[in-house]
Amino acid sequence: MPQERNSSTAERMKDSKRRRENAQALLRASEQKPSPKPAGQKRGQDPKAHSEKASAHKAPKREKEPLALPKRSVKAGGHRKQKAEKPPIRIKRSALITIIALVCAAGAFIGLYFLTIVDNITVTGCETYSEQKVIDLSGLYTGKNMFLYDLSAAKKRIESDPYLKCTGISRSLPSTLTIGIEERREFAAVHTSSGTACIIDKEGYVLRVGASSGTEGLIPIYGLASAGNTVGITIDEDKSLLRPYTIMEMIRAIGDRTWVIGSIDVTNTSSVKLVTPDGLTVMLGDSIDIPQKIERMFRVLDKIDKEKLEGSVLYINSNGTADISPATPAPTAEPDSTQEPLPTNVPEDTDSPEETDLPADTEEPGETAGPGSDN
């Protein structure tokens, strides 16, 4: 390998020497030929003097240096491979494109930031609450970019009021936030064994806990203990508790037909009881298949005379049948023998009872054995 490299260097030097010799020969040949009259030469002036004077004003020529050949790598085996170089023009163009793209992206981001600054907050679903009250609870305010708000935290702050349910907070481009709420309504009062009452809505959400008094107008529910009744949770949150779960199954099965509920009693889970406002007692049995039993109850109620329901008992059986026991008539009270009998067709001037027109089976006063007699 070193011998080949030395030989190639010697060849290049010989080639360069031949080129210089050829150039010098051409130069000598050009000097021997008569040159044309140069521009600006005066008549009678020596051409040689004119050329020397003109060359004095010209800049000295640089001698051409031999071109440097690119280095070539030689692999084992004597094969030469030229190393590829990336064109510098492409690198410059790609860098320029990248810089322009970054500038455009930064400008778009800055423009979007200032375009989406909130200047309006609206509230939907208000009935008794004012919009400003809801906005104050949310903690949202104008003058900030809409993508920098923590909407989940704002929703939790709204629902810190148990009577408010936040259905969502949405962003409306370019600069509006919309808060959706539902106001919870008191539905029933769950009377506990400790003497308190939990006021719930139709979803079983506890709105407040207080004394049992002052719950008029709400559906009374009996049979729950005081444990687990906390504001801000549903009474059936713990699915392992049978009584709260049974109550919510009944409420969900009844749905919007709440006119049928007078009271609910789950004190005995083997004999769940519902009383209608008409005075009908519905015995649903155990807490199994409550939705099916509720639907069976409505089918029976559609077929019977609702004016004669007071005091009746409707049994919804687990085998799919239903039995109704009519109300037992109240016993009539016997007349009190101690009271003075009413006069019947007695003349004003007649004092003798023998002359009184009485029925044959009417006993004389004092001889009737009644509930008030000593006998």
- Give me the pLDDT at residue 339, please: 45
Residue 273 domain flag: yes
- Give me the pLDDT at residue 162, please: 95
Q: Is it the case that residue 41 has pLDDT exceeding 80?
A: no
Query: Which is nearest to 177 in space by CA: 198, 204, 194, 158?
Result: 158
pLDDT band at 343, cuts 50/70/90? very low
- Give me the pLDDT at residue 3, please: 58
Q: Is it the case that residue 341 has pLDDT exceeding 50?
A: no
User: Structural domain of residue 128, as residue ranges?
Assistant: 120-183
Boundary (domain end) residue, out of 288, 309, 325: 325
- 300 with 243, same domain: the answer is yes
- Give me the pLDDT at residue 332, please: 52
Q: Is it the case that residue 333 has pLDDT exceeding 80?
A: no
- Give me the pLDDT at residue 329, please: 61
- 251 with 313, same domain: the answer is yes
| Coil, strand or helix at 343 | coil
- Give me the pLDDT at residue 61, please: 54
Distance separating alpha carbons of residues 311 and 361, to the nearest angstrom: 36
pLDDT band at 253, cuts 50/70/90? very high
- 158 with 277, same domain: the answer is no
Residue 99 domain flag: no
How, if at all, do strands 281-285 and 272-275 pair? Answer: antiparallel
Residue 346 domain flag: no
Residue 114 domain flag: no
Domain count for the chain? 2
- 192 with 172, same domain: the answer is no
Q: Is it the case that residue 66 has pLDDT exceeding 70?
A: no
C-beta contacts of 310-313 below 8 A and 24+ residues apart: 310/278, 310/279, 310/280, 311/279, 312/279, 312/280, 312/281, 313/280, 313/281, 313/282, 313/283
Least confident residue range of 33-42, 151-160, 216-225, 274-283: 33-42
